[in-house]
Structure 1
Amino acid sequence: MTLPPGWPAMAFAEAEARLTAPGSPFAVETRMIRGVPTRIWTHAPPTLRDLFLRGRSHGARTFLVYRDERASFEGFARAAITLAHHLIALGVRKGDRVAIAMRNLPEWPVCTYGALLAGAVATPLNAWWTGPELAYALAHSGARVLIADGERLARLTPHLSDCPALEAVIATRQEGTEAPPLPALIGATGDWDALPDRPLPDIALDPEDDATLFYTSGTTGRPKGVVGTHRAAATTVMAYPYSAARTALRKGETPRAPDPAAPQRASLLVIPLFHVTACHASLGSALYGGHRLVMMHRWDPAAALDLIDAEGCTGAGGVPTIAWQLAEAARAAGRALPTLDSVTYGGAPAAADLVRTLGDAFPNVVPATGWGMTETSATFTHHQGEDYIAHPDSCGPPLPVCEARIRDPQGRDLPPGAVGEFCVRGPNVVRGYWNDPEATAETFREGWLHTGDVARMDADGFVTIVDRIKDMLIRGGENIHCIEVENVLFAHPDVIDAVVLPIPHPTLGEEPGAVVTLAAGSTATPEAIRAFAAGHLAAFKVPVRVRIWDGMLPRNAAGKILRQSLRQAFEDAAAPPPS
C-alpha cells in the first residue's frame, strides 16, 4: 500500500477541529465526571439503555447470525426486555451483578442487555477459564445470578458451593441440567420476534451508574474486576464513524452522511464477547449503526472465508492474529473477498508489515488499528487508511474526547518523541477496580489512568507503544500474567525456581515460555512440566516451551530475577515473520 499523491489534503489538527465543532455530529463538550473536567461526545448515547433503544430502532433488520440461526434487532430487543423482567422477578435490583459465562452465542447480547435493563451490572466471565477460575470471579463479583452455557456450567457445577452470593442459575444449550433453561423464558432464537411487546423496566439509569464488570489479570496474578459506567461503555460507539470521517477529510473528501437506505453492513465476529473489544467496540457499534453481526462457533480461517462470502461481510478483524491468518488464508486460496472493505484490529502489538500483507491479500480493504484496554472500555486511540499507512508502527492518535500524556517516573510530562509511561483519561476510562481500593489508588491517580505501557507520542498525537512496564504478555489478544503461571510452576514438586518470559510469534505476537530450575536428582522433563501446568491453567496460559536451567536463575541484589539475561534461552524459538 502506498500513499496517494497530494496526501494529506488537510492537516490533522484542522480535520479534528472541523469534526468536533458545535453542531457537528461529532461535537465535543466538557462535563465534570468524578470531579475531573472531561470531554464527551455531545451526541453519544448517554447510557447503554439509550444505545439499546437505538439498536431497537433498526427493527426487522437482521442483527445476529449464528450458523442457521438469525435474530432481528426487534427480536433481540423483545428477548432482552423479557429476560430483564424475569431477573427483576428473581429479586435482582439496581447494582446487583448478573454473570454471563458462555461462548459467542445469540443469547450473549440478550443476557447482557437483559441484565443492564434490569439495572444490574453485567458481569461477563472469560469462557476460556477453568472451573476454579470461573468460580473465583463469580464469588469475587458477588453475582446473584449466573447465566451459563452447557460447557461453562459443567466446569462450574463442582465449585458453585464456593459462591455464597449466588441465588439463581439459568442454563442455555444444555440438556439434563436442573437449572432453568433460558429458552423456556425467551424461546428459541428464531421465535424472539413473536415474544410479547413488553415495556422497558421502570428503572432510572444515570450515565455514571455502574454498568459492566469485566475481569482482567491483576498484579498479583488474580483477575481484577474492572468497573465500567454506562457512559464509559457507550462512548466507544463513536470511535469508528469518527475515524472514518477524519480519514475522508484528510484525503480531501466529504465525510459520508448516514444513509438508512444503504445496504446493511455486516461484520464477522470472531473475538469473544467477554472482551471489551467485542462487547463495546463490535456489539455496541452494531447496535448503534444497525450492522449485522455474523458469529463464528470457533475461529477457522478457511471457514471465515466462506462466511464472509456467504454473508457479504464488509468488516472483519479483532486482534492482529486474526488479520494475519485471514490474509494468509485468502492469499493461499486465491480469494479476494470483494465485499470486504475494512479489517480492524487491536488488543496486541501489530507488526508494521501487517499493513502490506492486508493490501496484498485484499485490494479493497482499508486497514485500521487502535489501542485500548479493559480499563479504557476498548478503543482509545485509532487510525485507518492513509494515516495508518503513513504510521504503520503506531496505534494512532487518541480520540478527540480522550487525553494522553507521556510521563517520566516522577510524573512529569515529556515532550513529543520522548519515551515514558502512557497515561490517559477520558469518558471511556472506567471508575476503578471492584472491591480493590489499593489497586484503584495505584492505577488511577489524580484523574489519570497509568496504563503500565511505555510509549512515545509525536506532535500530532500519534502514539507508538514501545514496551510494557507491567510483567504481562499478550498471546493473540489474551492477557497472560507471568506471576500466575510462575505460581503454578512453583507448585510442581520438582521445580525450585521459575520465570515466565515472552517468546516472539509471527501472528500471535508472543507466547509464554518458561525457564525452570529443578531440585537435585529430579528427572522431570519439559513435557512433564507443561502437562502439570495444563492441569492447573487455561490452555492459552500454558508455556509453549519449557527450558531447564542449570543452577538457580540469575537475580539482582534485591533478589529480582534478571529476565533480560534469560531471554537468550528462547532466541531460537523466534520464527521469521510471514512473507
Structure 2
Amino acid sequence: MMPSPAWPALSFAEATARLTAPGSPFAVSEAVIRGVPTRIWAAAPPTLREVFLAGRRHGEATFLVYEDDRASFEAFARAVLALSADLIRGGLRPGDRVAIAMRNLPEWPVAFFATLLAGAIAAPLNAWWTGPELEYGLIDSGATVAILDPERFDRIAERRQACPALARILLARGTEPGAESLEGIIGPVSAWASLPPGELPEVPLAPEDLATLFYTSGTTGRSKGAMGTHRNGACAVMAHPYSAARAALRRGEPVPVPDPRAPQKVMLVSVPFFHVTGCFATLVSALSRGSRLVLMRRWEIARALDLIERERCTSAGGVPTIAWQLLDGREAGTHDLSSLEAVTYGGAPAPAELARRLRAAFPHAAPATGWGMTETSGTFTHHMGEEYLNRPDSCGPPLPVCEARIVDPEGRALPPGEIGELQVKGPNVVVGYWNRPAETAAAFRDGWLATGDLARMDEEGFITIVDRARDMLIRGGENIYCCEVENALHEHPAVVDAAVVAIPHPTLGEEPGAVVALARGQDTSEEELKAFVAARLAAFKVPVRILFYDEILPRNPSGKILKSELRKLF
C-alpha cells in the first residue's frame, strides 16, 4: 500500500457518514442495553455462536497451524462440537464457568467455543500466572471445569483441594492422575477431521448473556473478572474491517469487498489467547473472516521470520516490541517478508518513529494501532495507514458504535485538547466485575466506563493517551499494577516501605522498578527480594531493579508516596 499524494480524498466525517449509513455493511443502529440506549453494529453477529457457524462455512481451508499440526475450519468445528457435547453430558449447565489455562495451542480455541456453545461462561486464566495466582482465578470464578495444559496442571495440582467447586479437569497433550485426557474426547489435532460432524447444542443464547470472564488486575492488587457478554465479543468481527474500509475511502479507493477467490489472509499469532486482543481481535475475527492463524509456542524473532516466509503471513504484530524486532529482521535481509500487508500493535506506548520506520521498511504493509482494555473487550479505537502516519501519537478515533469523552475530576466534559480522564461507552463495554458490586458501581455508571486513563481528544475524535491515572504500568503489553508488586515486597520481613515505578524501556515501553526502605537492623539484597517476589507473582511482574532508600519513602502532606521523586533515582 503506497501513500496517496492526494490524501485525504475524503474527510474523516465524510468517510464515517458514508460507511455507517443505512444499508451499508457497517451501518450503525441503536439498541437499549441494560436500560441504556447504545449504538450497535446493525450487521454484527448477535452471539458468538453465529461467529462459530460463520467459521465453519470456510470448510476445508486451513484455520490453525501449530508446529506440525494443521486443522481446517471444518475439523476445528467438529472438535468443538465433540467437546461441547461431552461437557454437557458431564453436567455442565448454562452459566457455569469453565477455566481455560494453557499456552496458545489449537486446543485453546476448541475449549473456548465448546464452552460458549454449551451456554457456559469461559474464564481464560493468564498462563503466566503462578500456582497461587491460578488458584485464586479458579476460586474466584467458581469454575466447575478447568481445561489445562501440562505446565498449568503442574502449578495447580497440589492446590486442587482449595478449589471446592472444581469438579473436573481436562488435560491437553498429557496424562496425569486426577485429570481426564482431552485427547480421549476429541483426539489429537490430526484426527479432528475424522470426528463425526456433530450437532449444535440446543442451548438458547442471547446477545446479553454472559459469555466470558477475562481477568484484569485491580488497584487492590487482586485480579477482577470482567463479565463479558456475547454481544461484547461478537463486536470484534467488525472493528478491523471497518478501519480498513475507512482508510481505503480516505485514500480515494473503493471499500474492500470480500472475495472468496482471493488468497487466504494469514495471521502470525504471538499474542496470548487469554488476553482480549488475542481472543477477540485475533481469534474471533479470524474465525469469522476465514483467516489462517499460525500459532507460536513463544515469541522468538528467528522462528517468527521462518513462519512468515513459510506460511506467507499477511499480518504480524502484537506489542510494539514485536514490531521493532520485525524491523530488525527486515533489515537483516535473511527472509522473504514480502507477504506482509499489515503490522499491528498496541498494549504499550509506541513512539511516532516506529510508524515511520515501518512504512519505510514495509511499503506495502499498513502500520496500525489502537487502544482498548479488558473492560472494552479489546479494540475500542483504531486507525491505520495514512490516518496513523498523520497522527502517529494518537491511538485513533473510537469505532463508530463507540463513544468517548474526556472529563475533569468532577465528571464535567472537557473541550477538545484538554487532558482529563477518558470515559467510554459502547456495545463492547462489559457488564461489570464478577462478584464485585462496589467496584462495578465505581467504574460503570449509566453505560459509561471510567477507564482511569488520562487522555486528550481532538476535534475529530482522535484520542491520545497521555498517562494513567491508576497506578499501573505496561511491560510489553502486560499490565502490572504497582500495588500488587508493592504488596508482595511488603510481605518480606525486612521491608518496611516500598514503591514501584515505571522505568522506560526502548522496546518493552516500561519495566517495573522498586524502591524499598528496610526496617531498622534488617538486611537483605536486591537478588533476594527479586526471588521473594518471583515466588509470589508472575515473572513479568518482578522488578528489574530494586533500589534501597535510607529512610521512609518521601510523601506528600496527605501521606501519598511521591513517585515522581522516586522515578528520578532510576
1:547 aligns with 2:547: yes
Query: Is the CA contact (8 Å cut-off) linking 2:169 and 2:178 kept in structure 1?
Result: no
How far the C-alpha of 1:2 sits from its partner, in A, is 9.3
Query: Is the CA contact (8 Å cut-off) linking 1:517 and 1:548 kept in structure 2?
Result: yes
Tell me the residue number matched to 2:208. Answer: 208
How far the C-alpha of 1:333 sits from its partner, in A, is 4.1
Please give the per-residue CA displacement for 1:102-124, whole angstroms capped at 9, x wherever unaligned: 00000000000000000000110
How far the C-alpha of 1:256 sits from its partner, in A, is 1.5
2:180 is paired with a residue whose SS is coil
Tell me the residue number matched to 2:476. Answer: 476
Tell me the residue number matched to 1:175. Answer: 175
Query: Is the CA contact (8 Å cut-off) linking 1:117 and 1:200 kept in structure 2?
Result: yes
Alpha-carbon distance in structure 2 between the residues aligned to 1:158 and 1:336: 47
How far the C-alpha of 1:466 sits from its partner, in A, is 0.4
Tell me the residue number matched to 2:195. Answer: 195
1:483 is paired with a residue whose SS is helix
2:134 is paired with a residue whose SS is helix
Alignment-mate amino acid for residue 486 of structure 2? E
Tell me the residue number matched to 2:497. Answer: 497
Query: Is the CA contact (8 Å cut-off) linking 1:84 and 1:115 kept in structure 2?
Result: yes
Tell me the residue number matched to 2:267. Answer: 267
Moved more, 460-469 or 176-185: 176-185
Alignment-mate amino acid for residue 338 of structure 1? S
Query: Is the CA contact (8 Å cut-off) linking 1:3 and 1:389 kept in structure 2?
Result: no
Please give the per-residue CA displacement for 1:452-481, whole angstroms capped at 9, x wherever unaligned: 000001111110000000001110111111
**Structure 1 unmatched runs, 5+:** 571-579
2:558 is paired with a residue whose SS is coil
How far the C-alpha of 1:556 sits from its partner, in A, is 1.5
2:175 is paired with a residue whose SS is coil
Tell me the residue number matched to 2:565. Answer: 565
Alpha-carbon distance in structure 2 between the residues aligned to 1:218 and 1:86: 35
Alignment of 1:192-271 (within 5 A): 192-271=192-271
Please give the per-residue CA displacement for 1:373-402, whole angstroms capped at 9, x wherever unaligned: 000000000000000000000000000000
Alignment of 1:312-323 (within 5 A): 312-323=312-323
Please give the per-residue CA displacement for 1:425-466, whole angstroms capped at 9, x wherever unaligned: 000000000000011000001210000000001111110000
Query: Is the CA contact (8 Å cut-off) linking 2:132 and 2:536 kept in structure 1?
Result: no
How far the C-alpha of 1:359 sits from its partner, in A, is 2.3
Query: Is the CA contact (8 Å cut-off) linking 1:31 and 1:38 kept in structure 2?
Result: yes
1:70 aligns with 2:83: no
Tell me the residue number matched to 1:340. Answer: 340
Alpha-carbon distance in structure 1 between the residues aligned to 2:3 and 2:557: 51
Query: Is the CA contact (8 Å cut-off) linking 2:267 and 2:291 kept in structure 1?
Result: yes
- State the Cα RMSD in Å: 1.2
Alpha-carbon distance in structure 2 between the residues aligned to 1:230 and 1:382: 21
Taking structure 2 as the reference length, the TM-score comes to: 0.99
Please give the per-residue CA displacement for 1:38-79, whole angstroms capped at 9, x wherever unaligned: 111111111000000000010100000000100010111111
Query: Is the CA contact (8 Å cut-off) linking 2:213 and 2:226 kept in structure 1?
Result: yes
Alpha-carbon distance in structure 2 between the residues aligned to 1:333 and 1:526: 41
Tell me the residue number matched to 1:399. Answer: 399
1:433 is paired with a residue whose SS is coil
**Structure 2 unmatched runs, 5+:** none
Alpha-carbon distance in structure 2 between the residues aligned to 1:368 and 1:219: 30
How far the C-alpha of 1:334 sits from its partner, in A, is 5.0
Tell me the residue number matched to 1:577. Answer: none
Please give the per-residue CA displacement for 1:5-61, whole angstroms capped at 9, x wherever unaligned: 221010100100000111111111011011111111111111000000000010100
How far the C-alpha of 1:520 sits from its partner, in A, is 2.6
Alignment-mate amino acid for residue 473 of structure 1? L
Query: Is the CA contact (8 Å cut-off) linking 2:28 and 2:41 kept in structure 1?
Result: yes
How far the C-alpha of 1:335 sits from its partner, in A, is 4.1
Alignment of 1:87-486 (within 5 A): 87-335=87-335, 337-486=337-486
Identity value in percent: 63
Alpha-carbon distance in structure 2 between the residues aligned to 1:224 and 1:300: 30
Alpha-carbon distance in structure 2 between the residues aligned to 1:286 and 1:74: 14
2:235 is paired with a residue whose SS is helix
Query: Is the CA contact (8 Å cut-off) linking 1:405 and 1:423 kept in structure 2?
Result: yes
Query: Is the CA contact (8 Å cut-off) linking 2:83 and 2:111 kept in structure 1?
Result: yes
Alpha-carbon distance in structure 2 between the residues aligned to 1:542 and 1:2: 43
How far the C-alpha of 1:360 sits from its partner, in A, is 3.4
Alpha-carbon distance in structure 2 between the residues aligned to 1:481 and 1:387: 32
Alignment-mate amino acid for residue 439 of structure 2? A
1:510 is paired with a residue whose SS is strand
Alpha-carbon distance in structure 2 between the residues aligned to 1:2 and 1:174: 49
Alignment-mate amino acid for residue 374 of structure 2? T
1:321 is paired with a residue whose SS is helix
Please give the per-residue CA displacement for 1:510-544, whole angstroms capped at 9, x wherever unaligned: 00000001123333121221122112211000000
Alpha-carbon distance in structure 2 between the residues aligned to 1:2 and 1:560: 51
Alignment-mate amino acid for residue 519 of structure 1? A
Taking structure 1 as the reference length, the TM-score comes to: 0.97
How far the C-alpha of 1:561 sits from its partner, in A, is 0.6
1:343 is paired with a residue whose SS is strand
Moved more, 444-453 or 384-393: 444-453
Alpha-carbon distance in structure 2 between the residues aligned to 1:179 and 1:346: 37
Alpha-carbon distance in structure 2 between the residues aligned to 1:218 and 1:2: 43
Query: Is the CA contact (8 Å cut-off) linking 1:328 and 1:361 kept in structure 2?
Result: no
How far the C-alpha of 1:228 sits from its partner, in A, is 0.3
Tell me the residue number matched to 1:46. Answer: 46
Please give the per-residue CA displacement for 1:336-377, whole angstroms capped at 9, x wherever unaligned: 610011011111221111102212332321100000000000
Tell me the residue number matched to 1:574. Answer: none
Moved more, 513-522 or 391-400: 513-522
Alpha-carbon distance in structure 2 between the residues aligned to 1:86 and 1:349: 43
Instruction: Count residues in correspondence.
Output: 570
